[in-house]
Copies of this chain bind each other. A is one copy, B any other.
């Protein structure tokens, strides 16, 4: 498979499997300027899939850098109103949305005032976007755009071809029929979720070096995976790749300590050796060998940021794990192994919570916060058990292999 064919197949995956673009839909693509080669291939494939129109909204972080360096403070983090209006229009215009990720330069804000960098994080358009996700108004997906800059982060030297190879492995592009491979994979994940949901576990327990953490589930917690469905009934795959089955835990119930097993990239900062202790659901202590300040910033978002919003299970068959790489990109790294997230919960994972907001969710046991930060806690040395209401422990993962029958 040559590079052009690989890019073409990758675009097919984004458009036909990921966002599941339907004939006649407008398509919005959100990309960094550096992502242009992938954005163009995706745009082209969207038209081939019958898109009525395709608009790529390019974002330039060097312009943001200039705003941090020279712009007035009160304007930092404000997105141009026309871009916000565009995102807000997606539900009404039935626009499919494809976001490209993959950091071409984690050093882009080097040397700038950290407070001003923080202020420049645009929350305004994200709020609008999150409301589409919460109301399931839009078919969407996030896929990565390999760049030479990102390859430098992953390998310590520029090697775009090698990064493409790894992304191809992680996204099953290396399979003879990637679309068929994805259909099989999604079916397998759905069987795992069904198996977990049958057991109606009361809690999930992680044990390993530096880790002994028990996370309480809600009676209504349901494990989901892979595909979402819009309220109009259109299935789409919000993350390519995806390897996780995940749910929203009871935010009151987390006890013990956990050691992160992967570096965690938050914006341009890498957090190493994160260790966190929970009491009564709350993070009461966090340490790290580097980057702790960004974790603390996230934990300070609001009162509920210190409580869990997600627990996700991934075993060693993960195609991301098979690459053996740390991508320093959450889209990939969270799919390499089990992870948890502090901050906002996932209402669609809890019976009776879908469509609810804020305090209503908290009353139902689903966390609600402006933060949502995933970090990786699984691996071959970490055992995962499901605990029944009567206290019985059932093996879910051992030696990085899934144990629970569907």
Contact = CB atoms under 8 A, between A and B. Distances in A.
Interface of A: 33, 36, 39-40, 43-44, 46-48, 51-56, 58, 60, 62-63, 65-67, 69-72, 75, 78, 80-83, 85-86, 89
A98 to B, nearest CB: 12
A71 B53 contact: yes
Given A40-B62, A56-B63, A82-B83, 20 more contacts: A39-B63, A40-B60, A43-B60, A44-B63, A44-B65, A44-B66, A44-B70, A51-B71, A52-B71, A52-B72, A53-B67, A53-B71, A53-B80, A54-B67, A54-B71, A55-B80, A55-B83, A56-B60, A81-B89, A82-B82
A66 B43 contact: yes
A71 B85 contact: no
Contacts of A60: 36, 39-40, 43, 56, 58
A384 B157 CA distance: 62
Point out which of A33, A44, A62, A63 has the most chain B C-beta atoms below 10 A from its C-beta: A63
A119 to B, nearest CB: 14
B55 A75 contact: no
B56 A43 contact: no
Contacts of A70: 44, 47-48
Q: Which 9 A-B pairs have the closest CB atoms?
A: A47-B70, A82-B86, A58-B58, A44-B66, A55-B80, A40-B62, A43-B63, A82-B82, A47-B66
Contacts of A33: 33, 36, 58
B82 A54 contact: no
Nearest to A79: B55
A51 B69 CA distance: 12
A207 B223 CA distance: 82
Nearest to A78: B53
Contacts of A85: 82, 85
A53 B69 contact: no
Contacts of A55: 63, 80, 83
Contacts of A58: 33, 56, 58, 60
Contact of A86 (B51, B53, B67, B80): B80
A21 B139 CA distance: 41
Contacts of A46: 66
Contacts of A86: 80, 82
Nearest to A68: B47
Contacts of A65: 44
Contact of A54 (B51, B52, B63, B81): B63
13 contacts: A33-B36, A36-B62, A40-B63, A40-B66, A43-B60, A44-B69, A47-B71, A52-B75, A54-B66, A54-B71, A56-B58, A56-B63, A58-B60
A80 B26 CA distance: 10
Contact of A82 (B36, B43, B89): B89
Contacts of A62: 36, 40, 43-44
Contacts of A39: 60, 63
Contacts of A66: 40, 43-44, 46-47, 54
A71 B45 CA distance: 10
A84 to B, nearest CB: 9
Contacts of A40: 60, 62-63, 66
Contacts of A75: 52-53
Contacts of A43: 60, 62-63, 66
Nearest to A29: B63
